[in-house]
Amino acid sequence: MITLDCIPCLLAHSLKAMRRAGVPKGSEKELFENALGEAKIMLDGSPAPIAAAAIYRLISEKTGNNDPFRDFKKKSTAMALEILPRLREMVTASDDPFARAIEFSIAGNAIDLVKMEESDLGGIIDLLEKSESGEFVSEDISALESEIFGADSVFVIGDNAGETVFDRLFLELINGPKVYYGVRGGPVLNDATAKEAEESGIGEIAEIISSESAIPGTVLEKVGEKFRKIFDEADVVIAKGQGNFETLDESPRPIYHLFKAKCEPIAERVGCNVGDFIVWKNSPNNI
Per CB under 8 A, residues contacting a second copy are: 4-5, 7-9, 11-12, 15, 28-29, 32-33, 36, 39-40, 43
With respect to a second copy, which residue has the nearer C-beta, 120 or 264? 264
Q: Write the CB contacts of 147 (distance below 8 Å, at least 6 apart in sequence).
A: 235, 236, 256
- Cβ closest to a second copy, residue 13 vs residue 240: 13
At its nearest, how many Å lie between a second copy and the CB of residue 265? 11
Whichever of 28 and 198 has its CB closer to a second copy, that residue is 28
Q: What is the largest CA-CA distance in the chain?
A: 57
Please say whether the beta carbons of 258 and 170 come within 8 A.
Answer: no
- CA–CA gap between residue 182 and residue 217 (Å, rounded): 11
Closest CA to 215 of 182, 185, 259: 185
Q: In the complex with a second copy, which residue's Cβ is closer, 5 or 172?
A: 5
Residue 84 CA to residue 62 CA, distance in Å, equals 36
Three-state SS string over 33-59 comes to HHHHHHHHHHHHCCCHHHHHHHHHHHH
Residue 108 CB, nearest distance to a second copy (Å)?
A: 27
Taking the least distance from each CB to a second copy, the nearer of 9 and 220 is 9
Q: Cβ of residue 5: shortest distance to a second copy, in angstroms?
A: 6
Residue 9: CB minimum distance to a second copy, A: 7
Least distance to a second copy from the beta carbon of 36, Å? Answer: 7
